[in-house]
Amino acid sequence: MILEVRDIRSFYGETEVLFGVSLEVDAGEVVALLGPNGAGKTSTLRSILNLTEVKRGEIRFDGKNITRAATHTIARAGIAWVPDDRRIFPTLTVERNLSIAKKTTRFRAWSERECFELFSALEYLRQRECEDLSGGEMQMVAISRALVGAPGLVLLDEPSQGLAPKIVHDVLRTIGRLKSEGVAVLLVEQNPLAALSAADRVYVMDKGRIVHHGAARGLLENSAMRTRLLGV
């Protein structure tokens, strides 16, 4: 297992938001993390990066205990985050946003060229300042930024939010390529059907707890359970 999250309890100040969450992701595995709004999906990703305070439990990545390690050390170990609100550097150009995110880890760094192959639209935007980009373009930058940083695990928070079908397709294709290269993906999605068809396994969260886990296909095929857990 490249990522093991064991029974973590996370807090915003005094407010507990995760009540003992455990999950695992294997190298080259795509794991979907689903659940209603406010379930704690984003908080789980933030906890892995130590951006939300983890008071109990343990997080291991690539054989090392990274619980409460400094965020930049976690990033340098090879965990990349694509936040739901993109969070690129607005006054830097696309090129600068990518070059500033380059780093070496024990995993493979993607070249800018490869990113432009994945998202052909980006190539023409290289010199543009990111604050002028559309939401979808920013998402392409955010994903590319994760890739040039040589990740072994990519945390994707609602990557298809607000994207045109063509780009959603590109994102799914990217996930497929990551998987084929042995990079792990933890995928949070609002669109459960797309997520389930891209994923190997799935965890469903509600109110800060994991309420279901199993094969993605199982949930995709069992419509009764799907309706009960996800409402679709």
Partner 1 sequence: MLATFVLFATLPFWIKGVGLYPYLGVEVMIWIVYALGFNLLLGHAGLPSFGHGAYFGVGAYAFGLTQLHWGLGLGGGLLFAVLAGGIAGALVAAFISHRRGIYYALLTIAFGQIFWFVAVKWHSVTRGEDGLLNIKRGSVLGYPLEALESLYFFCFAVFVVVVLLLWRLVHSPFGRVLSAIRQNETRARFVGYNVWLYKWLAFTLSALIAGAAGGLLALAQQSAYPNVMSLHQSGFVVMMTLVGGGLVSFWGPVLGAVLFFLARDLLGAYTEAWLLWYGLLFMLIVLFKPEGLAGLLTDVRSRPSA
- In the complex, which residues of this chain contact ligand ATP (CB under 6 A)? 12, 15, 17, 35, 37-43
In the complex, the smallest distance separating the C-beta of residue 222 from partner 1, rounded to whole angstroms, is 36
Among partner 1, ligand ATP, Mg ion, none, partner that 19 touches (CB below 5 to 8 angstroms by kind): none
Residues 121-140 that bind Mg ion (CB under 5 A): none
Q: Which residue in 221, 225, 207, 115 sits closest to 170, CA to CA?
A: 115
Among partner 1, ligand ATP, Mg ion, none, partner that 37 touches (CB below 5 to 8 angstroms by kind): ligand ATP
Of the chain, the end-to-end C-alpha distance in Å amounts to 30
In the complex, the smallest distance separating the C-beta of residue 34 from ligand ATP, rounded to whole angstroms, is 9
C-alpha 53/C-alpha 6 separation (Å) is: 15
Q: Residue for token digits 């340098």?
A: 76
Q: In the stretch 58-77, what mask flags binding to partner 1 with x, by CB under 8 A?
A: ------------xxx--xx-
**Could you please report the per-residue DSSP string of 71-121?**
HHHHHHHTEEEE-TT----TTSBHHHHHHHH----SSPPPPHHHHHHHSHH
Residue 100 binds to partner 1 (criterion: CB under 8 A): yes
Other CB atoms within a 10 A radius of the CB of residue 83 amount to 18
Among Mg ion, partner 1, ligand ATP, none, partner that 17 touches (CB below 5 to 8 angstroms by kind): ligand ATP
**Could you please report the per-residue DSSP string of 14-66?**
TEEEEEEEEEEE-TT-EEEEE-STTSSHHHHHHHHTTSSEEEEEEEEETTEE-
Residue 103 binds to partner 1 (criterion: CB under 8 A): yes
Q: Which stretch binds partner 1 (CB under 8 A): 2-10, 21-29, 61-69, 99-107?
A: 99-107
Residues 12-51 that bind Mg ion (CB under 5 A): 42
Asked if 76 and 64 touch (Cβ cutoff 8 Å), the reply is: no
Residue 126 binds to partner 1 (criterion: CB under 8 A): no
Interface residues toward partner 1, by CB under 8 A: 49, 51, 70-72, 75-76, 81, 87-92, 96, 99-101, 103, 145, 149
